[in-house]
A and B are shown apart, each in its own frame.
Chain A
Amino acid sequence: MTSKRRKDIDWPVPLRTRDNALGTAVREYAQSTEETRGEAAVYARVAARVAGRDRRVSVMAAGFVITGVLATAVVLLVVRHRMTAGSSSRVTVASSSILPGSAPPRPTSIAASLPSARSSQTAPAPTTASIRLAALPVSLPTGKVTLVNQATAVLSTDAVVSARAQTGGTEIVLNKGSIELHVLPRAPGNDFAVSAGLYRFTVVGTAFTVSQTRSRLELVVSEGTVAVWRGSKRLATVGAGAQWAVDVNPAASARLPASRAQAEPSSDTAMVAPLSPETHALVPPPVSAPVANVAGATAGPSTSSLVPAPASASSARAATPAAPVALRRDCGQLAASKRAQEALTCYQEQAAQNGLSGETALYELARLWRDSFGELDRALAALQAQRSRFPNGVLRTEADLSIIELLPRLHRHADALAESERFLAAHPKAERSGEIHLLRGNIFREVLRDLDHAEREYALGAGARGRAGDDNRFMHAVCLEALGRMEQARKAYEAYLLQSDAMHTAEAKKRLEQLHP
Chain B
Amino acid sequence: MAVNIRLGAGSKSEQVTPQTATRGTPRPLITRCVLGEDQAWRDLHRNYYPVASRFLRRMGISASDLDDACQEVFVQVFRYLARFEQRANFQTWLYKLCLSQASRIRRRRRVYEVLDWLTGRDSSIRRDALELEWSDSMVVERVKQALDQMKPAHKEVFVLFEFEGVEGEEIARILRCPHATVRRRLHYARQEFETLLRAETAEDGKS
Contacts and interface: CB of A to CB of B under 8 A. Distances in A.
B3 interface: yes
Given A11-B168, A50-B78, A328 B162 contact: no
Contacts of A467: 135
Contact of B45 (A46, A328, A363): A46
B54 interface: yes
B45 to A, nearest CB: 5
Contacts of A51: 2-4
B118 A77 contact: yes
B3 A14 contact: no
Interface string B56-73: 011000000001001100
Interface stretch (A36-44, A475-483, A484-492): A36-44
Interface stretch (B17-25, B28-36, B86-94, B120-128): B120-128
A89 interface: no
B139 interface: yes
B: interface residue count bin: 35 or more
Contacts of A321: none
B85 interface: no
B16 interface: no
A36 B51 CA distance: 8
Nearest to B118: A76
Given A37-B50, A371-B207, A46 B75 contact: yes
A317 interface: no
Chain B interface SS verdict (over half)? helix
Nearest to A322: B120
Contacts of B140: 28-29, 32
A372 interface: yes
Contacts of B186: 12
B118 A73 contact: yes
B122 A47 contact: no
A280 interface: no
B194 interface: yes
B143 interface: yes
B184 to A, nearest CB: 10
Interface in A7-51: 9, 11-12, 14-16, 22, 24-26, 28-30, 32-38, 40, 42-47, 49-51
Contact of B46 (A34, A43, A360): A43
Contacts of A34: 50, 54
Interface stretch (A289-297, A332-340, A413-421, A441-449): A332-340
A401 interface: yes
Given A14-B161, A29-B144, A49-B71, A401 B132 contact: yes
Nearest to A80: B118
B148 to A, nearest CB: 11
A328 B124 CA distance: 11
A179 B113 CA distance: 39
Interface in B180-207: 180, 183, 186-187, 190, 194, 197, 203, 206-207
Contact of B163 (A30, A340, A364, A373): A30
B183 A11 contact: yes
Given A5-B179, A16-B162, A50-B5, A360 B42 contact: no
A42 B75 contact: no
Contacts of B51: 35
A315 interface: no
Contact of B125 (A16, A32, A332): A332
Interface in A434-452: 435
A45 B122 contact: no
B3 to A, nearest CB: 5
A401 to B, nearest CB: 6
Contacts of B78: 46-47, 50
A55 interface: yes
B102 to A, nearest CB: 14
Interface in B114-154: 114-115, 117-122, 124-126, 128-130, 132, 134-137, 139-140, 142-144
Contacts of A411: none
A73 B114 contact: yes
A38 B49 CA distance: 5
Contact of A9 (B45, B46, B161, B168): B168
A135 B30 CA distance: 61
22 contacts: A6-B169, A6-B179, A9-B180, A9-B183, A22-B194, A22-B197, A24-B139, A25-B142, A26-B143, A29-B140, A35-B49, A36-B50, A37-B50, A38-B46, A38-B49, A38-B50, A42-B67, A50-B5, A50-B79, A340-B207, A364-B125, A395-B129
Instruction: For the complex of A and B, list the 6 residue pairs with the smallest distance between their C-beta atoms, beginning with the closest.
Output: A38-B49, A325-B120, A29-B143, A35-B54, A35-B53, A38-B46
Given A26-B162, A38-B47, A47-B78, 15 more contacts: A9-B180, A14-B161, A25-B139, A25-B142, A25-B197, A29-B144, A29-B163, A35-B50, A38-B50, A73-B115, A76-B115, A76-B119, A329-B120, A340-B207, A367-B128
